[in-house]
Amino acid sequence: MIIPVILAGGSGTRLWPLSRQLYPKQLIDIYNEKTMLQNTILRLEGLEMTGSPIIVCNEEHRFMTAEQLRMIDTDPSAIILEPVVRNTAPAIALAALKALEAETDPILLVLPADHIIENVIDFHAAIKAGLVYAEQDNLITFGIIPESPETGYGYIKKGNLLESDTGASKIDRFVEKPDLDTAQKLFDSGAYCWNSGMFMFKASVIVKELEIHARDIMMPCKGLIEAGVQDLDFIRLSREGFKDIPSVSIDYAVMEKTSKGIVIPFKAGWSDLGSFDALWQAGMKDKNLNVIKGDVLTHDVKGSYIKSESRLVAAVGIEEFVIVETKDAVLVSPRDRVQDVKKIVKQLRDNNRDEAFTHQKVYRPWGSYETIDMEQRFQVKRITVKPGATLSLQKHFHRAEHWTVVFGSALVTKGDEQMLLKEDESTYIPLGTLHRLENPGKISLELIEVQSGSYLGEDDIVRFEDVYGRKED
């Protein structure tokens, strides 16, 4: 049995302003109509002996992750929540331990949730080739046959050739992301692959290797899994226990030290979409080599990536630029400088700016809300509630709310009263009144909420009941 382990805990800061801390790139449809997470799972269709996936994601993204799985009819065997950001070694350790609870030593196929692979047939062939060696207790990593001297990827040097048909080789060594001159030498040698971050091994074998080479990671992970709490669809871990685990990649923790490492090279239109330049390279280009998304007009523009989400963007006389517009931010950068976007994100975080963390449209387990207008003592939101969904029973100490239904129907609890509102009907929730909003219908409910009061922050919520088990957010 092959159990996919999907690593979905990244933040994707190099794709800001599309990717934000609370809405990272793996949960965005930046490549096609599906999100990166959904594409990662869907490309496994047709692969024999594949069981339900284990998802490892950040606690902040839990409801979006679960909803995206539901939308593609995927029932995961587990969704493990990381209380704080850590690297791939702890995530893989947790997934391996969890897999061993359900299956007798399954093969784990570890896949980051933010890659694109255009040639699925070759991808499946590489997995099948790796399976043979994984069943022999080896640790498999998948190397990408390089197409150019890239500085944004780590490299793997191939050692002794094991099989000519698949190119399977022992791993000689790993190389960190090189400068351009070094990348050119690695590329010209033909002895190196790009490090894809995808792996395959028996659960018991990676657990044993982690015990040997990274005991400071494996032992606390054992305790965390044993004490983990099932909460709805999620496995919650102790924050105090998890935050002290070293943040180390599986490459550094195990793969660079083990004698069991094998690399399977393949070439299948792979990219980790780690930058806007990568998005440009992967995108559909027009006659001027531009990748255009949304409402965009250009004149004398070449080799650029331009995306508009909410308004017209016009560009004149530029070459090899990136322009990305969202409702609350615009990014402009030469294509060869987009790696520095993370420095802008650092400035935003240092100044505690909302634009680093979330979009104007915020997703919740019941639906979403979007801020339309805001001033000192009022705020206007567009609220969408999924069919059958229910918000928490709550009250506010500093604001009153006025709800007007524009589409669908709303079941409103207000104090001891309950009422059904239809389109163009409204109600007023006075400050301090216990209230709840539900969508009893089979279509989405959309309403306009006008808040007024001395303080309009999201933390002015006292929850009394919540079907999603939330105390906050």
Q: Taking 90 as the threshold, does the pLDDT of residue 365 lie above it?
A: no
How do residues 292-341 score in pLDDT, each as one tens digit? Answer: 999 999 999 999 999 999 999 999 999 999 999 999 999 999 999 998 99
Same domain, 215 and 337: no
Does 298 fall in a domain? yes
Q: How far is CA 105 from CA 134, 217, 234, 348, in A?
A: 12, 20, 22, 45
**Pair 262, 402 in one domain:** no
Out of 318, 344, 370, a domain closes at 344
| Window from 49-63, 85-99, 401-415 with minimum mean pLDDT | 49-63
| Same domain membership, residue 98 and residue 226 | yes
Lowest mean pLDDT among 76-80, 179-183, 453-457, 469-473: 469-473
Kindly state whether residues 22 and 122 are assigned to the same domain.
Answer: yes
The pLDDT assigned to 137 comes to 96
Q: In the predicted model, what is the mean pLDDT of residues 376-397? A: 93
| Pairing, β 296-299 against β 313-316 | parallel
If asked whether residues 214 and 195 sit together in one domain, one would say yes
Mean pLDDT in the chain? 92
pLDDT of residue 192: 93
Q: Are both 222 and 147 inside the same structural domain?
A: yes
In terms of domains, do 150 and 181 share one?
A: yes
Average pLDDT over residues 244-252: 93
**Predicted local distance difference test score (pLDDT) of residue 86:** 87
Same domain, yes or no: 116 and 216: yes
**How confident is the model at residue 467, as a pLDDT?**
82
Q: pTM for the complete prediction?
A: 0.84
Per the model's pLDDT, the better-predicted residue between 33 and 439 turns out to be 439
Six token digits for residue 268: 């299948």
Residue 170: the pLDDT is 95
Share of the chain above pLDDT 70, in %: 99
Domain boundary among the residues 344, 370, 394 is at: 344
Question: Residue 178 carries which side chain, given as an amino acid letter?
Answer: P
Same domain for 443 and 405: yes
Residue type, 257: K
Q: What is the pLDDT of residue 276?
A: 92
How large a percentage of the chain has pLDDT more than 90?
Answer: 73
- Total count of domains within the chain: 3
Query: Would you state the pLDDT for residue 472?
Result: 55
Q: What angle do CA 160, 44, 105 make, to 5 degrees?
A: 65
129: part of which helix (H) or strand (E)? helix 120-134
Mean pLDDT value of segment 54-71: 90
Please tell me what DSSP assigns to residue 190: S
Mean pLDDT across 237-252: 92
For position 123, what pLDDT does the model report? 94
Peptide bond preceding 90 in cis form (omega within 30 of 0)? no
Q: Decide if 182 is inside a domain.
A: yes
Dihedrals φ, ψ of 94, to 5°?
Answer: -65, -45
In a domain, 307, yes or no: yes
Kindly state the average pLDDT of the residues 434-450. Answer: 96
In order of 35, 176, 200, 212, 252, the CA distances from 255 in angstroms are 29, 13, 12, 12, 6
Tell me if 142 is assigned to some domain. Answer: yes
In a domain, residue 350? The reply is: no
Residue 89: pLDDT over 70: yes
Residue 44: its pLDDT value, please? 94
Q: What is the pLDDT of residue 456?
A: 87
Query: Is 472 a domain residue?
Result: no
Clarify whether residues 286 and 251 are in a common domain: no
Q: Which residue has the higher pLDDT, 32 or 128?
A: 128
Q: How confident is the model over 453-460, as a mean pLDDT?
A: 87
- Has residue 354 been placed in a domain? no
Q: What CATH number corresponds to the domain at position 389?
A: 2.60.120.10
pLDDT of residue 267: 87
What domain range includes position 307?
276-344
Residue 127 domain flag: yes
Do 302 and 200 sit in the same domain of this protein? no
* Among candidate residues 271, 294, 328, the one where a domain is terminated: 271
Q: Are residues 391 and 260 in the same domain?
A: no
Say which CATH number the domain at 251 has: 3.90.550.10
Mean pLDDT value of segment 196-223: 95
Question: DSSP per residue over 235-299, as a string?
Answer: EE--HHHHHTS----HIIIIITT-S-EEEEEE-SSEE---SHHHHHHHSPP-TTS-EEESSEEEE
pLDDT of residue 471: 61
- The sheet with strand 399-407 has its strands ordered as 361-364, 367-374, 378-385, 445-453, 399-407, 426-429
Q: Is 60 exceeded by the pLDDT of residue 185?
A: yes
